[in-house]
Amino acid sequence: MREIPELFGKGRPVFSFEFFLPKAPEDLDRFVLDVKALKSLRPDYVTLTYGAAGTGRERTVEAAGRIQNETGLTTACHLTCIAHTRLEIAAVLDRLSALGIRHLVALRGDAPKDLAVPPPGERDFGYAADLVSFVKKRGGFKMAVAGYPETHPEALSAEDDLKHFAQKSAAGADWAITQLFFDSKDYFSFVKRARTAGVTLPIVPGIMPVTSYAQLKRFVAMCGAKIPDELEARLAPLSADPEAVIREGIEWGARQCRELLDGGAPGIHFYTLNRSRSTTDILTRLRRK
């Protein structure tokens, strides 16, 4: 498997896909086949989101190993730390290593709904930077971390959020993937601020093609992103026509990706939502130019 950080700076954009673990264990076989079908799009790597605890965690590790070993696609497994001890994280790393996984997306993660999580100072991993440092000292993995062009919804301020981002970089992260956003200016502003703060790692914009107006509303509410007025004006009249929303989402996504690449973004990370149509159409357009 190629090391993902080595892909950057080669004079071409790096394209990657994100998938989430199917909720039903019996759907895993079908999911792996679906991912394999997207291999023809030639993503440079793929990522898999992480189950919060218990069987979800174990199934994520298993699925990441299957994707990489059955499809040949370099796979970065999400790893969250908010509800885990150092011993638990070490065990996950051992399992991933045994499966041949050498890349992680290191995240603090959200607290499980059914579990009371202590404050940062009382946890083994208070923040994502603590996880990055732990993995870096242990060795054997390359890591991506998250960036927030519009500021993490729990951050005290944009400056505090940038401080945490810089700490993750300094702790040993190799590249960053941003939260979804829909205005390219937010990405470029974030990158400029990060560079001023001394962050030098590649910062890849994360793009979610709009496939549902209602779903879009839910997602931006959860992650603190905003819908640009122009996009809202385009989508609102189409909200009752799912097919029209998908087409408009593809048009917006393709234009946004082109703006980002033309402005110097090192690649695009597609939040696929386990769907292929929009990502396929946008990526095909990008590669034609």
Average the pLDDT over each of 25-29, 68-72, 162-166, 213-217 and give the range with the smallest value.
Answer: 25-29
Instruction: Return d(Cα 99, Cα 65) in angstroms, integer.
Output: 5
Contacts of 132 (CB under 8 A, 6+ apart): 106, 143, 145, 168, 171, 172, 173
> 142 and 102 in contact (C-beta within 8 Å)?
yes
Q: Residue 69 sits in a domain of what CATH number? A: 3.20.20.220
Amino acid 289: pLDDT = 67
Nearest to 125 by CA among 166, 171, 86: 86
- pLDDT at residue number 217: 95
Q: Is 23 helix (H, G, I), strand (E, B) or coil?
A: coil
**Residue 165: predicted pLDDT:** 98
Q: What is the residue whose two structure tokens read 């989508």? A: 235
**Cα separation, 222 vs 207, whole angstroms:** 16
The predicted model scores a pTM of: 0.95
The region, left, alpha or beta by phi > 0 then psi within -120 to 50, assigned to residue 33 is alpha
**pLDDT of the residue at 108:** 94
pLDDT band at 24 (very low <50, low <70, confident <90, very high): confident
With CA atoms as reference, report the closest residue to 15 among 187, 207, 199, 183.
Answer: 207
Q: By mean pLDDT, which of 4-18, 20-34, 173-187 is the weakest?
A: 20-34
Sequence-distant (≥ 6) Cβ neighbours of residue 184 within 8 angstroms: 205, 256, 259, 260, 263
The pLDDT of residue 104 = 98
**Residues 198, 168 contacting (CB under 8 angstroms):** no
Which domain range does residue 278 map to? Answer: 4-288
Kindly state the average pLDDT of the residues 193-204.
98
Which pLDDT score, from 0 to 100, does residue 37 have?
A: 87
Residue type, 277: R
| Residue 112 pLDDT exceeds 80 | no
Looking at residue 148, its pLDDT comes to 97
Residue (of 126, 160, 125, 132) closest to 146 by Cα position: 132
Q: Does residue 51 have a pLDDT over 90?
A: no
Across the chain, mean pLDDT equals 94
Catalytic residues: 18
Q: How many domains does the chain have?
A: 1
The 10s digit of each residue's pLDDT in 28-43 is 899 999 999 889 999 9
Give the pLDDT confidence of 73-99 residue by residue, as tens digits.
999 999 999 989 999 999 999 999 999
Residue among 171, 168, 190 at smallest CA distance from 180:
190
Collapsing DSSP to helix, strand or coil, 198 comes out as: coil
Listed range (23-27, 146-150, 221-225) with the worst mean pLDDT: 23-27
Question: Is the model more confident about 55 or about 204?
Answer: 204
